[in-house]
């Protein structure tokens, strides 16, 4: 922990890498409190905290990892602060792919399906939740998807100096080189990726496959008081508006806000 009243340490999911700088800058401008951040797959960050790291605040791409820290007595109860969406980014070599036939394409033995790493990264856990939903529609689909899914990212933390787009660079590379034809991941990262690559298209999940990523925060035991102020800022009108600007779905804005 920082243990300094004018500085806080935040461990945050990699999918918040683009959104967090604006949030931190706005908070610092309003309070004078600096925000130090470390990004990575939320499961790996939780393991770091369990092993002895002590940030002041943990921002996860799910509620499960914060809840496990709370259950271990290392943190307070998790609080929902944003939502995301899972989508598929598809290379143009996958013919006639759309929401209606996305599951057919995912199950096609000739199609290579990429995901993040379950247990270590919530994005991977959400992908496997999609597989379970697919199995309700087509018995046996889970076994097929579980066996074929290529865990391309999320198994290790990015280097400290990684650029904001770096977590998605391996995905773009894998799709371009044919290592994967379809990748399941967060809309906040994959939509900008597809916008930057003419060969890529975003396909929304059909309603029966939709799972809703929920982002949770938790204050670490013994953290500096300013961390609670930053947590409240994330839930404030200004914080929620900045999250929405980054592509997240806010959870604490008034109707029409």
Q: What angle do CA 183, 189, 190 make, to 5 degrees?
A: 40
Phi, psi of 38 (to 5 degrees): -130, 130
* Mean pLDDT confidence for 12-21: 95
Provide the mean pLDDT of the chain.
92
> For the chain, which residues make up each domain, given as ranges?
7-83+213-246, 86-209
DSSP three-state, residue 179: coil
How many Å separate Cα 174 from the centre of its chain? 19
pLDDT of residue 167: 56
User: How many helices and strands (H and E) does the chain possess?
Assistant: 10, 11
* Overall fold of domain 86-209: D-Maltodextrin-Binding Protein; domain 2 (3.40.190)
Percentage of the chain modeled with pLDDT above 90: 87
**7-83+213-246 shares its CATH topology with 86-209:** yes
pLDDT of residue 196: 93
pLDDT per residue as tens digits for the range 175-198:
999 999 999 999 999 999 999 999
Res 253 pLDDT > 80: no
Q: Cα–Cα distance between 48 and 184 in angstroms, integer?
A: 26
> Tens of pLDDT along 58-76?
999 999 999 999 999 999 9
Our CA dihedral for 93, 201, 213, 134, rounded to 10 degrees, sits at -40
Q: Please give the Cα distance from 197 to 184 (Å, whole number).
A: 16
**pTM as predicted:** 0.92
Q: Which of 19, 58, 218, 189 is nearest to 27 (CA)?
A: 19
**Counting beta carbons within 10 angstroms of the beta carbon of residue 212, is it exposed (0 to 12), middle (13 to 18) or buried (19 or more)?**
exposed
Beta strands in the chain (DSSP E): 7-13, 34-40, 57-60, 79-83, 86-91, 113-116, 150-153, 182-186, 200-204, 214-219, 249-250
Please answer whether residues 60 and 213 qualify as being in contact, where contact means their C-beta atoms are separated by less than 8 angstroms.
Answer: no
| pLDDT at res. 244 | 97
Residue 149's pLDDT is what?
98
* CATH number of this structure's domain 7-83+213-246, picked from the four choices 3.40.1260.10, 3.40.190.10, 3.10.620.30, 3.30.360.10: 3.40.190.10
pLDDT surpasses 70 at 169: yes
């Amino acid at each position: 922990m920082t243990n300094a009243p004018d500085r806080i340490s935040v461990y945050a999911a990699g999918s918040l890498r683009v959104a967090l700088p604006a949030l931190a800058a706005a908070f610092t401008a309003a309070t004078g409190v600096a925000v130090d951040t470390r990004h990575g797959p939320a499961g790996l960050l939780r393991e770091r905290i369990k092993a002895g790291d002590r940030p002041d605040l943990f921002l996860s791409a799910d509620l499960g990892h914060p809840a496990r820290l709370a259950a271990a007595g290392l943190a307070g109860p998790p609080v929902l602060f944003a939502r995301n969406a899972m989508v598929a980014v598809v290379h143009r070599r996958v013919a006639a792919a759309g929401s209606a036939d996305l599951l057919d394409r995912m199950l096609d033995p000739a199609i290579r399906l990429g995901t993040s790493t379950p247990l270590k990264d919530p994005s991977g856990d959400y992908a496997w939740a999609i597989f379970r939903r697919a199995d309700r529609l087509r018995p046996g689909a889970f076994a097929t998807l579980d066996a074929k899914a290529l865990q391309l990212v999320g198994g290790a933390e990015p280097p400290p100096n990684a650029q904001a787009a770096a977590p998605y660079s391996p995905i773009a590379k894998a799709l371009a080189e044919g290592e994967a034809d379809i990748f399941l991941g967060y809309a906040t990262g994959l939509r900008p990726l597809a916008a930057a690559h003419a060969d890529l298209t975003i396909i929304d999940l059909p309603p029966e496959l939709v799972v809703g990523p929920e982002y949770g925060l938790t204050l670490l035991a013994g953290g500096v008081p300013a961390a609670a102020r930053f947590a409240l800022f994330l839930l404030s009108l200004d914080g929620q508006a900045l999250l929405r600007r980054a592509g997240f779905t806010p959870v604490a804005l008034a109707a029409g806000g």
